[in-house]
Amino acid sequence: MSMAAEKMAKLLKLSFEIVTFGEKITPIYVYYKNGDEEPIPIYCDKGEKTNMQEVCTALRNMMFVLSFHPKHSALKQIRNGIMQFS
């Protein structure tokens, strides 16, 4: 899943960071964060195995939805890139 998140971040020219909270296997969350704003969860693998294409599709869909929110105008500017991501 980290590969899918990193791929999307690079394509959209966004920063990417992995944060771990210990070695216990738990669900993995992907957040969108803009500057000092609160991070917004955009994906959770629920502790299940997932393939990269499913993760990419889910991330793309959530980023696209966020791009319509007035608070996330930076995403509006890259909306075409979000839709081209696959």
Q: What is the distance between the terminal CA atoms of the chain, rounded to a whole angstrom? A: 14
Residue 1 contacts residue 45 (beta carbons within 8 Å): yes
Annotated domain spans of the chain: 2-14+25-84
Above 70 in pLDDT, residue 25? no
Residue 24's pLDDT is what?
67
**Contact between residue 63 and residue 75 where contact means Cβ atoms under 8 Å apart:** yes
- Arithmetic mean of pLDDT over the chain: 79
Q: What percent of the chain has pLDDT over 90?
A: 0
Q: Residue 23 to residues 16, 34, 48: CA-CA distances in angstroms? A: 20, 27, 16
Query: Cβ-count burial of 50 within 10 angstroms (0-12 exposed, 13-18 middle, 19+ buried)?
Result: middle
pLDDT of 59 reads 85
Average pLDDT over residues 78-82: 77
Mean pLDDT of 59-76: 84
